[in-house]
Amino acid sequence: MPNVIRLLPDNIANQIAAGEVVQRPASVVKELMENAIDAGSSSVKVAIKDAGKALVQLIDNGVGMSEVDARMSFEKHATSKIKTADDLFDIHTMGFRGEALASIAAISQLEMETCRTAGELGTRIVIEGSQIKAQTPIAAPHGTKISVKNLFFNVPARRNFLKSNPVETKHILDEFQRVALSRPDIAFSFYQNGTETYQLPATKLSHRIVHLLGETYKKQLIPCSEETDVVKIEGYIGKPEYAKRTRGEQFFFVNQRFIKSAYLHNAVKNAFEGLLPPNAFPFYVLFIAIAPARIDVNVHPTKTEIKFDDERLVYAMLAAAIKKALSVHHIAPSIDFEQNVNFPLFDAPAAATTVWSSTAEKDYTQFRGPNVLPQRGNKEWEGFFKGLDQLPTEDSASIQRSSASNFLPEISSLKPEAKGSIKIQLHGRYILTHIKSGLLLIDQHAAHERILYERYLQPSVTKQPCGAQQLLFPVHIALNPADLTLVEAHLADIQALGFVLEFFGKDSLIVAGCPAEAIEHDPKLLLEGVLEQFKWNQTAFSLSIQENLAQSLAKRACIPAGKKLHQEEIDRLVDQLFACSNPNYTPTGRKTFIMMSLEDIEGFFAA
């Protein structure tokens, strides 16, 4: 039998290894920036073209390399930071495996110019697919300049898996932000296609956060600090009212290395318990300093996951530090001073109306004595139940509650009766009406979300944009580069929903019009909310761009719970809901209504 086990050639082995280290252009930016930091740079410049596919260039003023070191740096597992196995547990640098440059050179056309000190000749090396094409002495400034061109030129299958330019640019900006946050003492600059995006001077952490993420973060930063013999925690957390529904603004740094940890994130959320709305994520930039011997950073190729020798201790210290910061700055759950926690028995009953609101009536009238219903409302209640006893009971047997089975009744059987149908708003949240076989309870927020979703989905089908309402006074909105890139990537789809947008400068937009159905909403909050919801949907669901935008706008533009509706609005909402192709659920699968048959209602009063 022939021998089938063989050693792979170095170039193929390097390409396979590159698949772990270099997944996209953002990976190249991360590795090169970390190398520049390890070289002792005080200034780092990053430039990209064509979302990093055509060029990723980094220029630093670090110590540079000699001719021999420059050549050795492209050998696999060549490093100056590890000599023995014991050094793996005393890591003080960003990189240590010696695989970054070798992996990048295996799948690109790379050129490096480096010089150690002024007065010495530098070295220029040109490599294509791990093959050295040239190595010559040159006159070069102090530091290192690396240009990575045509990424994945020799692995076309990998290049085909890259996303659109705006998406890849966003990944690059995310990596740039993480590294820039980790070292506010270093000046960073970022250019894309010749245009300056960031110019960050060396400064303190709070200023670096504002320079990177925007001026609005000045208002929400809360300093956080705690130190023990084992661990030191410092950084900033955001005020609870600024929490967002999307992940992405949560940063952990262990010994100045960015990490991802669901376990530590849970510690932060628990510390915010009672202060955050459901499904909200607080902002934080937290630095954890711990002895290198107490962690293992060599558990993942990208070094974004680490292990602690005592995770519970770090968890407890992190939660305690955040709770202390919140208490020191007097952040506590708000108290509703409008709520009446007493149960007076002799207050005069308020007049009943056909529209009830939980925000206006919180005085527990149902506990006020034998006359639960005011006299003036008795006739209205009699009219509401009038005719229910004459309904044919055999129809109720054909319809079961949706929670009892997966069977969905015919829509025609759920529509309120055309004549004499009474629709009542309950506590500003629900719409109550009767149908042939019982009672229908509609969630107005969920129902309107379904209606708007199908309306906003139409432009992708009919190619006709939704109606836009011009604003009397256009609104200026400042966005961080990542969000601005997101808008630019999907500008045509966003405008098809009814937004009228114009780019203003390098970091802001002018909103000149909004979707007609959302004109009551603040344009700035609406657009920012749509972008946040869009990013959240990207992580939680697998949707097309049009579906994601339609779902995001419907979620942010729908009627909020607690809003009082006029009778005409109630009637129109119910009619539009049952005209939808799928009125039963919201786009995310939440029920829009529940139905109670007469049998169900009778069961409530059974002995």
AA identity, residue 586: T
The Cα–Cα gap between 474 and 341 comes to 45
Q: How far apart are the first and last CA of the chain?
A: 84
Nearest residue to 226 via CA among 144, 300, 320, 149 = 320
Mean pLDDT of all residues in 318-337: 75
Query: At a CB cut-off of 8 Å and minimum separation 6, what does 574 contact?
Result: 416, 423, 431, 433, 442, 447
The pLDDT score that the predictor gives to residue 520 is 80
Q: In this structure, are residues 76 and 102 in contact, taking their beta carbons and an 8 Å threshold?
A: yes
More confident residue, 340 or 11: 11
Cβ neighbours of 79 (radius 10 Å): 18
Q: How far is CA 261 from CA 52, 126, 251, in A?
A: 28, 39, 10
Dihedrals phi, psi of 289, to nearest 5 degrees: -105, 125
- Which span out of 36-40, 119-123, 380-384, 602-606 was modeled with the highest average pLDDT? 36-40
80-132 pLDDT per residue, tens: 655 555 555 556 566 555 578 888 998 999 999 999 877 688 999 999 988 89
For residue 71, the SS3 value is helix
Q: Per DSSP, what are the bridge partners of residue 114?
A: 123, 144
Mean of the per-residue pLDDT values of the chain = 79
For residue 445, the SS3 value is helix
Q: In this structure, are residues 426 and 439 in contact, taking their beta carbons and an 8 Å threshold?
A: no
Nearest residue to 216 via CA among 480, 475, 474, 473 = 480
Q: In this structure, are residues 160 and 123 in contact, taking their beta carbons and an 8 Å threshold?
A: no
The pLDDT score that the predictor gives to residue 299 is 60
AA identity, residue 224: C
The Cα–Cα gap between 275 and 131 comes to 57
**β 250-254/284-290 pair status:** parallel
The pLDDT score that the predictor gives to residue 113 is 95
Cβ neighbours of 60 (radius 10 Å): 26
- Architecture (CATH level 2) of domain 207-328: 2-Layer Sandwich (3.30)
Lowest mean pLDDT among 181-195, 510-524, 533-547: 533-547
Q: Give the strands of the sheet with 221-227, arranged side by side.
A: 221-227, 231-238, 284-290, 250-254, 257-259
E strand or H helix at 48, and its extent? strand 43-49
Distance of CA 180 to the CA centre of its chain: 20
**β 55-60/143-149 pair status:** antiparallel
The pLDDT score that the predictor gives to residue 10 is 66
Q: Is the pLDDT of residue 278 over 80?
A: no
Any idea of the CA torsion for 111, 115, 121, 122, to the nearest 10 degrees? -10
Q: How far is CA 590 from CA 291, 301, 497, 517, in A?
A: 47, 39, 23, 22
Q: How far is CA 524 from CA 65, 211, 508, in A?
A: 50, 21, 11
Burial class from Cβ neighbours inside 10 Å (0-12, 13-18, 19+) for residue 332 reads: exposed
Q: Is the pLDDT of residue 367 over 80?
A: no
The pLDDT score that the predictor gives to residue 332 is 56
E strand or H helix at 233, and its extent? strand 231-238
Q: In this structure, are residues 487 and 479 in contact, taking their beta carbons and an 8 Å threshold?
A: yes
More confident residue, 274 or 122: 122
- Which span out of 76-90, 438-452, 467-481 was modeled with the highest average pLDDT? 438-452
| pLDDT > 70 in the chain, percent | 75
* CA angle, residues 151, 157, 162, in degrees to nearest 5: 60
Q: Give the strands of the sheet with 508-515, arranged side by side.
A: 468-478, 508-515, 500-504
Q: How far is CA 533 from CA 47, 214, 409, in A?
A: 30, 19, 32
The Cα–Cα gap between 482 and 50 comes to 16
- Architecture (CATH level 2) of domain 10-202: 2-Layer Sandwich (3.30)
- CATH topology agreement for domains 10-202 and 461-563: no
The Cα–Cα gap between 123 and 68 comes to 9
Mean pLDDT of all residues in 421-447: 85
Cβ neighbours of 586 (radius 10 Å): 21
The pLDDT score that the predictor gives to residue 599 is 85
> Half-sphere exposure of 134 toward its Cβ, with a 13 Å CA cutoff?
11
Q: Taking the domains of the chain in order of start, what are their residue ranges?
A: 10-202, 207-328, 461-563
More confident residue, 437 or 514: 514
The Cα–Cα gap between 291 and 171 comes to 31
Q: Is the pLDDT of residue 241 over 80?
A: yes
The pLDDT score that the predictor gives to residue 13 is 67
The pLDDT score that the predictor gives to residue 199 is 93
More confident residue, 228 or 346: 228
Q: Domain 461-563, what fold?
A: Ribosomal Protein S8; Chain: A, domain 1 (3.30.1370)
For residue 295, the SS3 value is strand
